[in-house]
Chains A and B, each alone.
Chain A
């Protein structure tokens, strides 16, 4: 039976957290989460780690493996060179709870501020028709499993004190899913520009690189939103044109499909 060395950062606050070495008996096909479970069952029953599905579907087991944000249940031990120790530490962008568990409640607060889906009030059932091509775009965004790895990796949240000003890639993805919904009547552009701080994102794509659901966050969600914001607020030609036509607020809601 093979052996793998895992260094796990353990503790209840960042200052006193320590790297602890564990030697794990491994068998074929094991993922990092299996190794941690083995540690729990054999060496450290109180090792704290969050997980649920163990199938990369729930987004609970986010942490940083060898410094890179990943899902523990999807990261195979065999992805790393044999014989070298693997480091596992909690996500750095969020306050530590204990061991590998961080306090991600901030994300839920951000989420609660987003205006919910707003369908036309009285659309009859027959109006709820749309084609696959209308929704393929937003189905990509709805694949999000809320692992918050993108929030963890985004330098705007990680390196700058911007938690109150920038919603982060996960929530830009959510807003994109609402804004591009063929039946949605809501208007979140003002929110995006100010409260959500879309301008903080400098499209450097780290979020896209780590997303376990392979959502092309920057290209498909954030940049199109930036373009929509530009339509309303930064495009001198459009602004002039709107002035000329006398329309004041441009957020024209799409007519319900018939």
Chain B
């Protein structure tokens, strides 16, 4: 313990993406002293990659839009498994959170009458996504970053947290290391907010970055908190499939929002076939009607035409593409075609500038002239740390969670654009709640010397171990396992095989060894990420195995239909000694008012 002098803050926030920054601003404005830790540089968090926009019922483009409609869309998209209180708070507060960004200097694209412009997205009844071309996340993170720095919080960059500490059953701080030199780092806090994002690195094909090793999920789990909905992993329908180096890289849904058409090798617009009957009436009936909708959009006027079939929900479009490819109607590199080249090149370049750059620079494809090739890619984790809707409090005292790491808000499937608004709404709430909790606590909880020592010893081990497995190999095998056995379609046999393989990989991971110094050593980073990924992989697989039905993003080939018995159940994971316990828990019931709203459409 002597080696590390802990830094103390009322509120410690782990993660500097949209959720973490928004929480930091809120906690700081509520008077708390705030420390913000992130494992890469400030402003590089995953949020920076978000492209399409922030969903909020501002009703600037479609006057009929309202929070009620947004709430309904979110619940319907999540197959009613969402925590309805979260979905309601989210729909109600998103508009004010977006306007606030503008007051902090964000510069959104404008409508003709000078207000924030909104674009259509899959699953949203009305055009609803406030955006800046296709770099909305950059705008958001830069705005929050500048604001957070101006409020005077302490930022600890490139510091990886590997352990949470507890004092008398309460989360009281965090331990990790500085990446620049590998020295240990310790933090002491009255409240800790997790905002670490997602889990994409357990899959081979993902739109996520190296940061997404499920650290927050695992840290919460190891601290005894519950995880919820872990079987719901979102596969985005359109990732790049070629060249190999960029396989999985996201092609924003905005391409379809702006009129992109999906076709198979035979030139068929296959999405017509895959619209679920219950929702067919919400989509255009003919190519013509879809075209009229695109034209109206291009000219910025209202229309009675309905949206194109490509704007169906992500789970549905992903399955459609998967099926087309599986049945032999795929494109040369194993995807399908996404075509926007029939629009004027100018418009494509203006509305989708980074997509244009991405394809010309990385794939030598000019999307204003030829179609892109796309296929499903792991994109988002609906499941996460179980939190209280109003405060983001986890089931562990002193620990809060917000953003992608928190579960419940999106149910079985997230709508595009609902994540950025989720970050803002629940980031703010978690920040306020954590500050309040910290205020209620008189003394700073003491760090337990033995916990610190244990954590430091665990950090040291892989560097001093004589011989051992290579973490890169284990990671590769884990990714291969998850990709092939726990992907878009699942079966009990596959899931069992996956569990066996995860157990074996865990055993091997306990004896890994890394070469080189502590300073900026990616091999060493991987050791702890691997620990976290294995926990998350097991949680995903166990939850998927338990839910014996298909719903939203979770599709079982051995249980292809939705089962009413599961309609009101969430799967919850928590530690039970050294084992992982998994159980079904009754979902939060809708209030009568909420039910009326949901049934309206």
Any A–B CB pair closer than 8 Å: yes
Closest chain A CB from B474 CB (angstroms): 12
B44 within 8 Å of A (CB atoms)? yes
B500 within 8 Å of A (CB atoms)? no
**Would A31 and B43 count as touching, CB distance under 8 A?**
no
**Would B43 and A27 count as touching, CB distance under 8 A?**
no
**Would B114 and A129 count as touching, CB distance under 8 A?**
yes
**Would A58 and B514 count as touching, CB distance under 8 A?**
no
Residues of chain A lying within 8 A (CB to CB) of residue B4: none
Given that A45-B514, A116-B146, A145-B138 are known contacts, is A138 also in contact with B99, CB under 8 Å in the complex?
no
A57 within 8 Å of B (CB atoms)? yes
Binary contact readout A140-181 vs B (1 if CB under 8 angstroms, 0 otherwise): 001111100000000000000000000000000000001001
Residues of chain B lying within 8 A (CB to CB) of residue A132: 109-110
A248 within 8 Å of B (CB atoms)? no
Q: Select the stretch in B241-249, B449-457, B551-559 that faces chain A.
A: B241-249
Measured CA separation A124–B376 after assembly (Å): 44
**Would A112 and B149 count as touching, CB distance under 8 A?**
yes
Measured CA separation A98–B522 after assembly (Å): 12
A210 within 8 Å of B (CB atoms)? no
**Would A52 and B211 count as touching, CB distance under 8 A?**
yes
B497 within 8 Å of A (CB atoms)? no
**Would B105 and A181 count as touching, CB distance under 8 A?**
yes
Measured CA separation A125–B58 after assembly (Å): 12
A229 within 8 Å of B (CB atoms)? no
Measured CA separation A30–B520 after assembly (Å): 24
Contact of A103 among B104, B180, B246, B523 (CB under 8 A): B180
Which of chain B's residues 124-162 have a Cβ closer than 8 Å to chain A? 132-133, 135, 138-139, 142, 146-147, 149-150, 155, 157
Which chain B residue has the least Cβ–Cβ distance from A74? B361
**Would B522 and A142 count as touching, CB distance under 8 A?**
no
Which chain A residue has the least Cβ–Cβ distance from B151? A116
Measured CA separation A184–B147 after assembly (Å): 14
A131 within 8 Å of B (CB atoms)? yes
Given that A46-B516, A131-B110 are known contacts, is A57 also in contact with B522, CB under 8 Å in the complex?
no
Given that A97-B180, A117-B146 are known contacts, is A28 also in contact with B519, CB under 8 Å in the complex?
no
- Interface size for chain B: under 10, 10 to 19, 20 to 34, or 35 or more residues? 35 or more
**Would A178 and B40 count as touching, CB distance under 8 A?**
no
A41 within 8 Å of B (CB atoms)? yes
Closest chain A CB from B179 CB (angstroms): 9
**Would A138 and B138 count as touching, CB distance under 8 A?**
no
A236 within 8 Å of B (CB atoms)? no
Contact of B102 among A47, A48, A128 (CB under 8 A): A128
Measured CA separation A213–B342 after assembly (Å): 26
**Would A50 and B40 count as touching, CB distance under 8 A?**
yes
A105 within 8 Å of B (CB atoms)? yes
Binary contact readout B457-473 vs A (1 if CB under 8 angstroms, 0 otherwise): 00000000000001110
Residues of chain B lying within 8 A (CB to CB) of residue A237: none
Closest chain B CB from A2 CB (angstroms): 13
**Would B135 and A143 count as touching, CB distance under 8 A?**
yes
Residues of chain A lying within 8 A (CB to CB) of residue B515: 45-46
Which of chain A's residues 104-130 have a Cβ closer than 8 Å to chain B? 104-105, 108, 111-112, 116-117, 119, 125, 128-130
Number of A-B pairs whose CB atoms are under 8 Å?
159
Residues of chain A lying within 8 A (CB to CB) of residue B139: 142
Contact of B523 among A12, A46, A117, A138 (CB under 8 A): A46
Closest chain B CB from A45 CB (angstroms): 4
Closest chain B CB from A100 CB (angstroms): 9
Closest chain B CB from A223 CB (angstroms): 21
Residues of chain A lying within 8 A (CB to CB) of residue B147: 116
**Would B48 and A48 count as touching, CB distance under 8 A?**
no
Closest chain A CB from B506 CB (angstroms): 20
Residues of chain B lying within 8 A (CB to CB) of residue A98: 517, 519-520
Residues of chain B lying within 8 A (CB to CB) of residue A142: 107, 132, 138-139, 142
A222 within 8 Å of B (CB atoms)? no
**Would B210 and A46 count as touching, CB distance under 8 A?**
no
A53 within 8 Å of B (CB atoms)? yes
A69 within 8 Å of B (CB atoms)? no
Which chain A residue has the least Cβ–Cβ distance from B207? A55
Measured CA separation A28–B362 after assembly (Å): 11
A34 within 8 Å of B (CB atoms)? yes
**Would A31 and B245 count as touching, CB distance under 8 A?**
yes
**Would A56 and B361 count as touching, CB distance under 8 A?**
yes
**Would A52 and B519 count as touching, CB distance under 8 A?**
no
Contact of A111 among B149, B180, B181 (CB under 8 A): B149
Closest chain B CB from A210 CB (angstroms): 15
B285 within 8 Å of A (CB atoms)? no
**Would A58 and B44 count as touching, CB distance under 8 A?**
yes
Binary contact readout A7-42 vs B (1 if CB under 8 angstroms, 0 otherwise): 000001000000000000001111100100000110
A99 within 8 Å of B (CB atoms)? yes
Which chain B residue has the least Cβ–Cβ distance from A138? B107
Contact of A57 among B48, B115, B471, B524 (CB under 8 A): B48
Residues of chain A lying within 8 A (CB to CB) of residue B297: none
Residues of chain B lying within 8 A (CB to CB) of residue A12: 517, 519
**Would A48 and B42 count as touching, CB distance under 8 A?**
no
Contact of B472 among A40, A50, A57 (CB under 8 A): A40
Measured CA separation A29–B357 after assembly (Å): 15
Given that A129-B113, A145-B138, A181-B107 are known contacts, is A55 also in contact with B249, CB under 8 Å in the complex?
yes
Binary contact readout A50-67 vs B (1 if CB under 8 angstroms, 0 otherwise): 111111111110000000
Contact of A143 among B41, B138, B523 (CB under 8 A): B138
Which chain A residue has the least Cβ–Cβ distance from B155? A108
Residues of chain B lying within 8 A (CB to CB) of residue A55: 49, 246, 249-250, 358, 362
Which of chain B's residues 40-89 have a Cβ closer than 8 Å to chain A? 40-46, 48-49
**Would B244 and A27 count as touching, CB distance under 8 A?**
yes
Which chain B residue has the least Cβ–Cβ distance from A46? B516
Residues of chain B lying within 8 A (CB to CB) of residue A56: 357-358, 361
Which chain B residue has the least Cβ–Cβ distance from A55? B249
Closest chain B CB from A101 CB (angstroms): 5
Given that A52-B211, A103-B180 are known contacts, is A58 also in contact with B358, CB under 8 Å in the complex?
no
Contact of B242 among A29, A31, A105 (CB under 8 A): A29
A194 within 8 Å of B (CB atoms)? no
Residues of chain B lying within 8 A (CB to CB) of residue A76: 361-362
Closest chain A CB from B471 CB (angstroms): 8
Residues of chain A lying within 8 A (CB to CB) of residue B209: 51-54, 58
Given that A45-B515, A145-B138 are known contacts, is A139 also in contact with B520, CB under 8 Å in the complex?
no
Contacts A53-B209, A76-B361, A130-B110 known; 13 new A-B pairs at CB < 8 A: A29-B242, A29-B245, A40-B472, A41-B472, A45-B471, A49-B522, A51-B210, A52-B46, A52-B210, A58-B49, A117-B104, A128-B99, A181-B107
Which 3 pairs, one residue from A and one from B, show the smallest C-beta to C-beta distance? A29-B243, A46-B516, A117-B105
Q: 25 A-B pairs, CB-CB below 8 angstroms?
A: A29-B245, A30-B244, A31-B245, A40-B522, A41-B472, A45-B471, A46-B523, A46-B524, A52-B40, A54-B209, A55-B362, A57-B354, A60-B44, A97-B180, A98-B520, A112-B149, A116-B150, A119-B103, A119-B105, A128-B102, A130-B114, A131-B114, A132-B110, A142-B132, A146-B43
